[in-house]
Amino acid sequence: MLSPVVLHLAHTVPWAGHLALQKTYARISSRFVWPALYTDVQKYCATCPTCQQTSAVRRRDRATLQPLPVISVPLQRIAMDIVGPLEKSSTGYQYILVISDYATRYPEAFPLRSITTPKIINALIQLFSCVGIPEEILTDQGTNFT
């Protein structure tokens, strides 16, 4: 009997994602057809233990969305992160310090040979000497940013 295997593969396996009735039915019906297909999918989704445990969680009231503050002054808040390690360039650069302004979305990139704190400070001094010092700097709090 093929239908239990198809139902399991279309709904339960990790890459299927425990989709609800409509999406599971659409996934199966695009490739398979049998009598009472919709009813079988409906029963399978209704008796799935994982879906039964998590469906109650989805019905709870969600917290209201909080508006994010609008940053309208350029370079008031910037974000920065390190990209890499990348393939070394001919001049030895392997990392990129990426800095983005929250107000204008202006990106700035600095190539780095290493990601030590002094190298990052030198790149920031280059930026700040041109545009000024921001009020806030957001990072992922990596050790090279402390």
Overall average pLDDT of the 25-39 stretch: 87
The answer as to whether 125 is a domain residue is yes
- pLDDT for residue 130: 87
* CATH code where residue 107 lies: 3.30.420.10
The answer as to whether 109 is a domain residue is yes
18 and 47 fall within a common domain = yes
Q: What tens digit of pLDDT does each residue of 107-137 get?
A: 999 999 988 888 888 898 999 898 888 888 8
89 and 51 fall within a common domain = no
Angstrom distance (rounded) from CA 46 to CA 42: 6
- pLDDT for residue 54: 67
Q: Which domain holds residue 102?
A: 77-145
134 and 93 fall within a common domain = yes
Quick check: helix, strand or coil at residue 46?
Answer: helix
81 and 140 fall within a common domain = yes
15 and 50 fall within a common domain = yes
Q: Structural domain tally of the chain?
A: 2
Overall average pLDDT of the 27-56 stretch: 82
The answer as to whether 65 is a domain residue is no
The answer as to whether 67 is a domain residue is no
Q: With contact defined as beta carbons under 8 Å apart, do 66 and 58 qualify?
A: no
Strand partners, 95: 112
Quick check: helix, strand or coil at residue 91?
Answer: coil
41 and 99 fall within a common domain = no
- pLDDT for residue 53: 72
The answer as to whether 139 is a domain residue is yes
Overall average pLDDT of the 66-74 stretch: 81
Q: What tens digit of pLDDT does each residue of 43-64 get?
A: 888 888 877 776 655 555 677 8
90 and 132 fall within a common domain = yes
